[in-house]
Each structure stands twice: as C-alpha cells, then as structure tokens.
Amino acid sequence: MKDYDPTKHQFETNAIHAGQPPDPATGAIAFPIYQTSTYVQEGIGGHKGFEYSRTANPTRCALEECLASLEGAKYGLCFASGMAATSNVMTLLKAGDHVVCSDDLYGGTPRVFNRVYADYGIEFTYVDTSFTDRIEAAIKPNTKMVFIETPTNPMLKITEIRAVATLTKRKNLILVVDNTFASPFLQRPLDLGADIVVHSTTKYINGHADSVGGAVLTSNEKYHERMKYCQNAAGGIMGPFDAFLTMRGVKTLALRMERQCDNAMNLAVYLETHPKVEKVIYPGLESFPQHKIAERQMRLFGGMISFVIKGGLDSAKKMLANTPVFGLAESLGGVESLIQHPALMTHASVPKEVRDANGISDGLIRVSAGIEAYEDLKRALDTGFSHV
Ligand code: P1T
C-alpha cells in the first residue's frame, strides 16, 4: 500500500486504507496500538516525528488522517469525547464573541455553552436553523460563528448546509456542523461549504458502543493550526486504544449505515400507522417537513427515529420498560438498537420550557436503529406497545 492517495479513492476504500499502511517493521495489516507516552530520541531533538503522546501519537494520527479523508478534509484531530471536540472548536473564539446555534442540539452542547463558555464571555443565541433567515436575523456585529446540528438531536430537524454556508461566507463567519447524526457516509458538510465538522465518534463512526471519542475536521489551515495548538495545550486527546477501536469500527461505516438506514426507514413506516403512536419524526417520511432538503443533502435518511406515543409519560415509561432487544440507554449509532426518553435522559439538562418549545415532550421516544433483523426489531416494539 505504498503512497496511498485518498483523493484517488472512494469512501469505502478510504475507510479501510486511508492513514493506515501496513506496519513497515512487520507487515501487520492492522494498524498497531502505540500504547506509549513518550519516544526515545537519538539525541536532543533527534526524534522520528513523535516526542510525547499528548502532542502526537501514531495510532491517533492514523485515525485523524482516515477521518479527514472521509469528510473530504485536509486535517483531522481526535479527542477524548465529542464534547472535548466541540470544546476544542470553541478555542477559535474569545471573550465578547457571539455564536448563533441550532435550538435543538444534543443536551450536553448547550450545557457546556451556557454554563461553561458563557462564563468566559462568549454569547450564544439559539434559533431554528432550518430557517436560514432566522440565522441571519440573529447575527450581531460580534457574531463570529454559526454552530449547527443536522439532523438535530432529538427532533431530527434538517438545516440546508449550502444555504447557511452562503450566508456565513457573505458575513465572514465560521460555519461549524456537528455531523454526528448523519456521519460522513450520508452527508459531507465541507463539500457543501461548511468550514469545520465536529463528530462524537462514540456514535456511528466507531459504531460498536465500546469507545467514547470525538473528532474535528477542516480544510482551513488557520483554524486547524489554532485547534491543533489547543489540542496539545489543553490536552483532551483520544488515547491510542480508543483510536484503534475507532479505526477498526469505521472500516464498516458504509455497510452499517446502509443497514441502519434501511431498518430505520422500515420502522418509521411501521410506526406511522401504529394506533398507539401520535406522530413519527423521520426525515425519510414524506410527512417530514424538510424531507426534500434531506433528500438533496443526505445519501440516505439516517438511523435515528423519534416518535410521540399517545398517553404521554405514563405510556412512554411502560413502553420503555417492556421493549426487548432494544437497549434502554443513552447514546446512538451502534450496531445494537437503542431506545430512550430524551426529556428524562439525554436532554434532562435542557430547561423544561426550552424542551417544551422544541417539542421534546414527555411522550417523545427516540430510537437508534441497529443492524439486527428488521422483523425482530418490529416484534420487539410490538411487545413494548402491548404493555401500554
Ligand atoms: O458523548 P460525546 O462523545 O461527548 O458526544 C457528545 C455529542 C455531541 N454531538 C451530538 C450530536 C451528540 O449526540 C452527542 C452525544 N449524544 C448522546 C450521548 C445522546 O444519547 O444523544
């Protein structure tokens, strides 16, 4: 695999080969776990590109290169979690700067924005970014960044990345897209004009629910240099074993994603006609408000479904307590299907009035479709509903 050039290969091939040539010492095809903190130098300054593992580690570097290729980015950085990745992006800002954000982000994101970075003098405004004019209306003289999720967590709202990128370029703002829910297989924000992509690799990228991690990808050298500086300075790095697991997981991203999207689509159609369901939220359904935009900007419609069960909290609790196969758990994107209650679990840190305004009601249930057999998943949900 000498001189492998990711720009000459397709997504599925890069997921397996980019950044990870066979080990020159042994020929090992699986990229080694360099479980080391430091690197012996031949003389002062006489090193082989690695001095200390907070600064750079070969296993982490291999994953960073691989993920950069998958997002069509020049540069990649990997972190200890998705939140550490988002926090690293915030190092591009300083006191007095303002950020316009999606109003339906993963609950931990507004938590760190409002309760940590606001204390450092950064201001945040939350709008429904699926309306580009609402972003424009929220821009102030001190606005420096627009931070969006699409699809959002958990309402799956879609923002048209190309339209927002046109606005942010005109206004000279940094456009950051948290691409966790789509994964680069479904959607490549940098190709659509975004400046930076953030991932919780914990989800689809690793895909096996056995590692927590994050990544930041960009082709902007200036932003990358600052973020790389801060990755080393602040130190929230991904460890080599997690980098190895994530590199192994991402090899099958395309296959897993196709199956997960297929299962999600079938489950959404099944739920849509279920008598105990009030409403199904899935970008692949014709009834979904931004279905056409999702169709244009995503390869498939994703593995996440949200639905509102009739009877509110009482019904939701009964359903969640009695649904086999699906794990009752936070997180998403793994091979195993999960089911959870956003208001009491992933979005409990969001104030109730904000949850209510965003539609995160007590009857809202979120499903992450895994790769199990569809008939088994449908039967499991049937069992859950029979207890309601
Ligand atoms: O958990 P961590 O790896 O730190 O990633 C945070 C994060 C960032 N962005 C999005 C869109 C996310 O969904 C998450 C984490 N989300 C969950 C744990 C969840 O169950 O929704």
For residue range 190-244, what is the model confidence (pLDDT) as tens digits? 999 999 999 999 999 999 999 999 999 999 999 999 999 999 999 999 999 999 9
- Shared domain for 178 and 213, answered yes or no, is yes
Q: In total, how many domains does the chain have?
A: 2
Q: Is the predicted pLDDT of residue 279 greater than 80, yes or no?
A: yes
User: Which residues have CB under 8 Å from 132's CB, separation 6+?
Assistant: 160, 163, 164, 167
Q: Whose CA is nearest to atom 21 of ligand 1?
A: 331
Strands across the sheet containing 277-281: 277-281, 304-309, 364-368, 338-340, 327-328
C-alpha 251/C-alpha 354 separation (Å) is 38
Tell me the H-state helices in the chain: 11-17, 58-70, 82-89, 108-115, 132-138, 161-170, 183-186, 221-234, 240-250, 253-272, 291-297, 312-321, 352-358, 374-386
Say if residue 77 is in the same domain as residue 106.
Answer: yes
Residue 246 has pLDDT above 80, yes or no: yes
Name the residue type at position 347.
H
* Residues 111 and 152 reside in one and the same domain: yes
Tell me, what's the pLDDT at 3?
A: 81
Report, in this order, helix, strand and coil percent for the chain, each rounded to 5. Answer: 40, 15, 45
> Domain boundary residue among 218, 250, 282?
250
Share above pLDDT 90 across residues of the chain, in percent, rounded to a whole number: 98
Query: Which residue has a Cα nearest atom 19 of ligand 1?
Result: 331
Can you say how many angstroms the Cα of residue 172 is from the centroid of all Cα atoms in its chain? Answer: 25
Residues 299 and 227 in one domain: no
- Write out the H or E segment, with its range, that includes residue 144: strand 143-149
**Residue 313 included in any domain:** yes
Give the end of a domain, one of 250, 266, 286.
250
The alpha carbon of 8 and the centre of ligand 1 are apart by a number of angstroms equal to 32
Compute the distance between CA of residue 141 and CA of residue 129 in angstroms, rounded to an integer: 19
Asked if 39 and 48 touch (Cβ cutoff 8 Å), the reply is yes
* Residue 246 lies inside a defined structural domain of this protein: yes
For residue 239, what is the domain's CATH number?
Answer: 3.40.640.10
Residue ending a domain, among 228, 250, 272, is 250
Q: Which of 112, 181, 202 to mutate to test the pocket of ligand 1 (most atoms within 8 A of CB)?
A: 202
The pLDDT assigned to 2 comes to 63
| Residue 210 counted as domain residue | yes
pLDDT tier, 317 (very low <50, low <70, confident <90, very high otherwise): very high
Looking at the domain assignment, is residue 219 inside a domain?
yes
φ, ψ (nearest 5 deg) of residue 262: -60, -50
The upper half-sphere exposure of residue 84, i.e. CA atoms within 13 Å in the direction of its Cβ, equals: 21
81 Rama class: left (phi>0) / alpha (psi -120 to 50) / beta: beta
How far apart are the CA of 153 and the centre of ligand 1, in A? Answer: 9
Residue 1 lies in a domain: no
Q: Are residues 332 and 382 in the same domain?
A: yes
* Pairwise CA distance, residues 202 & 248, whole Å: 13
Long-range own/partner contacts, residues 341-345 (CB < 8 A, 24 or more apart): 341/316, 341/317, 341/365, 341/366, 342/107, 342/154, 342/306, 342/366
15 and 138 together in one domain: yes
User: Ligand 1 pocket: which residues have CB below 6 Å?
Assistant: 81-83, 106, 108, 149, 153, 178, 180-181, 200, 202, 212, 214, 330-332, 346
Range of the domain at 330: 253-386
Residue 359: left if φ>0, alpha if ψ -120 to 50, beta else—which one? left
Q: Which CATH number belongs to the domain containing residue 268 in this structure?
A: 3.90.1150.10
Nearest CA to ligand 1 atom 17: 331
How far apart, in whole angstroms, are the C-alpha atoms of residue 267 and residue 49?
49
Same domain, 209 and 86: yes
259 plus 232 within the same structural domain? no
Whether residue 92 is found in the same domain as residue 115? yes
pTM of the predicted structure, to 2 decimals? 0.98
- For the stretch 15-57, pLDDT in tens is 999 999 999 999 999 999 999 999 999 999 899 999 999 999 9
Probe target for ligand 1 pocket from 116, 177, 203, 331, with the most ligand atoms within 8 Å of CB: 203
Question: Is residue 124 over pLDDT 90?
Answer: yes
Identify the three-state secondary structure at position 326.
coil
The rounded Å distance from CA 370 to ligand 1 centre is 17
CB contact burial 95-108 (16+ within 10 A = b; e otherwise): eebbbbbbbbbbbb
Question: Which residues are known to be catalytic?
Answer: 54, 106, 178, 203
Q: Is the pLDDT of residue 120 over 60?
A: yes
Whole-number pLDDT of residue 1:
52
Mean pLDDT, the chain, whole residue set: 97
Measured distance CA(361)–CA(252) in Å, rounded: 35
Shared-domain flag, residues 226 and 355: no
Q: Are residues 201 and 181 in the same domain?
A: yes
| Domain shared by 175 and 195, yes or no | yes
Residue of the nearest CA to atom 2 in ligand 1?
Answer: 82
233 lies in a domain? yes
Q: Residue 35 CA to chain centroid, in angstroms?
A: 26
Strand 327-328 versus strand 214-218 pairing type: unpaired
